[in-house]
Amino acid sequence: MPVRRLRWGLVGLGSLARNGIVPAAARSAHAVIQAGATRDPEKGREFGQRHGIPRIHARYEDLVTDPEVDAVFVMTPNDRHREVVLAAAAAGKPVLCEKPLAMTEADAQAMIAACERAGVMLRLGLHLRFERFLDQVAAVIRSGAIGTPRALSIERTAPLAERAPWREDAARGGGILYDVGLHLLDLVPRLLGTDYAEVGGLAYPPPGGGQGADTISLLLRMQDGAQVALRASREAPHSGSDLTVLGTAGMLRTGPLRWVEEFTLTVTNAEGERVERHPASDLYRDELDGFALDLADGGRRLGTGEDGLRLVRLATRVEQAIREHRLVPLP
């Protein structure tokens, strides 16, 4: 099937749409933003005028049935993903949903089933899967240049300016786990080539007060015994956002992984120190183009509904580990 240039409808016109997806579509070979939906009429008018979006809807139900929309991108607050995905499936539109896919396993399963029944493609927004530099990191680990990985650590922050009321509401899926944390949890098995065995963690603010955590620290054991430390925060204005892997024969370290045009990869072993430099990828552009390619050839360049269900299950157990102050086994 030839690759189509998809006319996108965006449901949710927040910072991701404004700063990420709309500019990326202008650089894309296979995407154009045709419509948007928001419950705020003034916001919708301003967004449409500023970005040249010809069709603004007050209801997502009208956007998904718009005959000039080929695909739907769901960027609502996390607790509203289910209703929009189900509506897109009922309208026969392929859908890209920002992570998390849903807030419960039951909702995620219902969304996957609805898309399967309707025969529409469901994909998950995990833009780090399009960072080619991280593919190179994985290749270096697989090459044996640092021996067998024994410990991996990543720290990553979100911009302080991205705060919004729903992002601080735990009941709505607010909190850094569902923002930055899921990206890291999806990334680590792809780097190390093995899956998780158990997890423990800390959060601030701690659970129970209704506010989603702004900072989390997770300690995980992989199935091969490797140790992983992940830290994600929305309250740290200065951070390296870097990655380190310790192996039995050497060490791998990167420079900053955000807001840079070029990445640095340093490998240290018995042969000395080797430094590589790689350009940053155009993540959102490549995600939009990857969706069009997946739709054309049935590929899995983007995360699938099943990937989304797996991450929902993993997040549920991470929250349990934080809440119960113990290590929780992971299936």
Cα-based angle 320, 303, 11 (whole degrees, multiple of 5): 90
Provide the CATH number for the domain around residue 317.
Answer: 3.30.360.10
Residue 164 in this model has a pLDDT that exceeds 80: no
Q: What is the pLDDT of residues 118-129, one digit of tens each?
A: 999 999 999 999
Contacts of 92 (CB under 8 A, 6+ apart): 118, 119, 120
User: For the segment 271-324, what is each residue's pLDDT rounded down to a tens digit?
Assistant: 999 999 999 999 999 999 999 999 999 999 999 999 999 999 999 999 999 999
Residue 124: beta bridge partners?
97, 303
How many CB atoms neighbour CB 82 within 10 A?
A: 22
Which region holds residue 198: left if phi is over 0, alpha if psi is between -120 and 50, else beta? Answer: beta
Q: What angle do CA 330, 283, 23 make, to 5 degrees?
A: 135
With respect to residue 37, please indicate whether it lies within any of the assigned structural domains. yes
Percent of the chain topping pLDDT 70: 100
Q: Which one, of 250, 246, 244, 245, lies nearest residue 270 by Cα? A: 250
Query: Is the Cβ–Cβ distance between 33 and 53 less than 8 Å?
Result: yes
Mean pLDDT of 111-136: 98
Q: By three-state DSSP, how is residue 173 classified?
A: coil
- Give the pLDDT of residue 259: 85
Task: Please name which of 209, 212, 208, 230 lies closest in space to residue 220, comparing C-alpha atoms.
Answer: 230
Instruction: Among 108, 127, 146, identify where a domain stops.
Output: 127
CA terminus-to-terminus distance, the chain: 38
Report the CATH number that the domain containing residue 54 is assigned in CATH. Answer: 3.40.50.720
* Domain contains 267: yes
Task: Provide the pLDDT for residue 146.
Answer: 98
> What's the confidence (pLDDT) of residue 69?
98
Q: End of a domain among 94, 127, 160?
A: 127
Half-sphere exposure of 82 (CA within 13 A, CB side): 16
**How would residue 165 be classed by pLDDT, with cut points 50, 70 and 90?**
confident
**Structural domain boundaries enclosing 85:** 6-127
Q: Are residue 153 and residue 269 in the same domain, yes or no? A: yes
pTM value?
0.95
Q: Of 83, 105, 127, which residue constitutes the final position of a domain?
A: 127
Q: How far is CA 99 from CA 128, 179, 238, 251, in A?
A: 12, 8, 25, 31
Helix axes 305-324, 105-118, angle to 10 degrees: 180
Same domain assignment for residues 195 and 264 = yes
Q: Is residue 258 part of a domain?
A: yes
